[in-house]
Amino acid sequence: VECVALKENTVTTENESRCFCYKSYEAVQVKYVWSTVQVKINSTGEFQILYQKEENCNDPETFADFVQCIVQEFIQFATAYNETTIAVNVNDVTCFQVEPVKLDTKYTVSVGKKLIDAKLVALFFGGVFLFFAAGIISRSVVFYYFAGVSLGILCFAVFLLLILKKFIPKTSTFLLLMCGGWSCSVFFIHYVRENINRILSDYKNYAFGYLLIWGFFSFICCYKHGPLTHDRSINLLTWTLQLIALFLMYCGLTIPHSTYAVIAIAVCSHGFRYGRNLMLYIYRRVKKCFMYKKPAIKLLTEDEYREQTETVTAKALEELRKHCAESCFSTWETVCRLQSPKRFAEFILGSSHLKLEEVSEHEEQYGIGGLFLEEQLFASERDGEPQQEEELLSSEHEEQFEA
């Protein structure tokens, strides 16, 4: 079927069923990353939009082409319009057919280019925000109730299946019903979006009742189950939100190469912290293997201190005896400087370096119940008395002030 080629800033008038195609002949540029072509159709009567199948729908090369063909096939059930606007990608070839409901219905097709489409900008930056804030949003109680109520209103079939999941015995049956539920929900959302003006004008009371009943029922079900608490459920919700965010970023850009680059940067930047933590862990392990380990300092107990002191002192005294007994030791010079040469000679021959009187005096002075210990105790008590007096004076002043 021959189609009419649409051009920018032109108006085409027809009164019968006609196929139209738009193709941009401009080179792909970065400035068109958020640009769209708006095809506006006005008619004196009702008409339908039928999208032509592309050649690659018979043998789709990529998954994106397969999904696009399914969506185009699904949109064939669109209802009649009096006027509508179709957003066309600048870099794609789009063909559609206008089918008037009645014969000899006059309609016009005009094409205009929008350099920056606010919807695409909102989709892109909304996807970026959702991708990096998915972990926080998945733990939010407000988001839990908002998502639950929205799911109950827009996808009531899916919401009912999730509520009644425990009553469905087989997993295969549940998955089959879930596929049907999602299909019904997508058709319902598409129908409401295309006929929102008619619904609000002719069926406003029914729409309000539907929102009230299903919103209240969804809120009660969400309140009964409560927010997510398990880490596994929170992680699954986080990953789901991130996938939705990537899809929003994909839909928010019109240049495929830019889209793939942005998605790759987002995924890599999000996973950078995991790689950074791994690199830091490896660096610490390698650094610990090659760096000098400082010896651990262990404090001695009082018994260990005394035992070590006695051992070291005995060893040092024995080394002193050996040194004094050597031939190179200047004995006479040392004896001339000593007050008690006899005691020194007895020490060299093996006697103790302390007298019994000195040992007993040391025990009286520094032993348990000795004078040194008593002075330390009484000194601490005397230091504490001024503090107690200050506390008493301050308490008396406070009592007087309160009185």
In a domain, 12, yes or no: yes
Grade residue 401 by pLDDT with cuts at 50, 70 and 90.
very low
Looking at the fold, whether 48 and 157 belong to one and the same domain comes out as: no
∠ CA 201-205-211, rounded to 5°? 110
For position 403, what pLDDT does the model report?
Answer: 42
> Is the pLDDT reported for residue 294 higher than 80?
no
Looking at the fold, whether 132 and 229 belong to one and the same domain comes out as: yes
Q: What is the pLDDT of residues 337-390, one digit of tens each?
A: 878 888 878 888 878 777 778 777 777 776 665 555 556 555 554 554 455 555
Residues in the chain: 403
Looking at the fold, whether 105 and 126 belong to one and the same domain comes out as: no
Separation of alpha carbons 296 and 289, rounded Å: 17
When divided into structural domains, the chain yields a total of 3
Share of the chain above pLDDT 70, in %: 80
Q: What is the pLDDT of residues 21-42, one digit of tens each?
A: 888 777 767 777 888 888 888 8
In a domain, 388, yes or no: no
Separation of alpha carbons 72 and 275, rounded Å: 41
> Is the pLDDT reported for residue 191 higher than 60?
yes
pTM of the model: 0.56
In a domain, 289, yes or no: no
Structural domain boundaries enclosing 335: 322-361
Which of 207-216, 225-234, 374-383 has the largest mean confidence? 207-216
Looking at the fold, whether 224 and 142 belong to one and the same domain comes out as: yes
Domain boundary among 64, 97, 116: 116
Separation of alpha carbons 45 and 279, rounded Å: 67
In a domain, 389, yes or no: no
Looking at the fold, whether 239 and 338 belong to one and the same domain comes out as: no
Q: Is the dihedral of CA 276, 279, 280, 281 positive or negative?
A: positive
Domain boundary among 361, 376, 391: 361
Q: Which long-range contacts (CB under 8 A, 24 or more apart) does 2-7 make?
A: 3/52, 3/95, 6/39, 6/109, 6/111, 7/111
Between 69 and 14, residue with greater pLDDT? 14
Looking at the fold, whether 167 and 273 belong to one and the same domain comes out as: yes
